Amino acid sequence: MSDATDPWLIVGLGNPGPEYAANRHNVGFMVADLLAERIGGKFKRAQKAQAQVVEGRIGPPGPLSRRVVLAKPMSYMNLSGGPVSALRDFYKVPTDHVVAVHDELDVDFGVLRLKLGGGDNGHNGLKSMTKAMGADYHRVRFGIGRPPGRMQVADFVLKDFSSAERKELAFLVDRSADAVECLLAEGLERAQSAYNS
């Protein structure tokens, strides 16, 4: 069982490369980038995994400060599990101290949901992580809603946010980063009651 001194591994899920940077599927990277900015760190290539990482502390100085490794797997979404489990092993992070930040089709745009464990809902990044290390990790689910009309899911998640969505995006990414910080400092129940909209 994990304790307060164990590090946390915060994983923003996405696809590497500038052509994917603004896609709905890359909102996990956006949140990870903001968290890195908040702790004053820059992403560097990880030694032991196909990922970029930043190490630092999240939260106010004192007992609520948490040691964190922020990570962006560079393996493409559907292979995220390999880099994440390698980082978890290297940094000796208990699985319940791993947090995946990802886009979620079954949640409306603008809505956040936090949970521990559960299924992957057809999300290839989660599917890969669960296969590599089991399902007992936290998820910060950033709602993107369902594709309009007959658009295929794969096409929808690999498109950029709409212009209407982009007006709210910075606020929602900021709120998601706040939710991650709250989860680490105050636990899942407090974070759920504050951020599950």
Enumerate the active-site residues: 25
Contact 32, 53 (CB under 8 A): no
Of 179, 189, 197, 187, give the one whose Cα is nearest residue 35. Answer: 179
Hey, what are 30's tokens? 């956006």
Angle in degrees, CA 165, 38, 66, rounded to 5 = 115
Distance CA 102, CA 109 (A): 13
C-alpha pair distances (Å), 113 with each of 67, 150, 161, 175: 23, 26, 19, 12
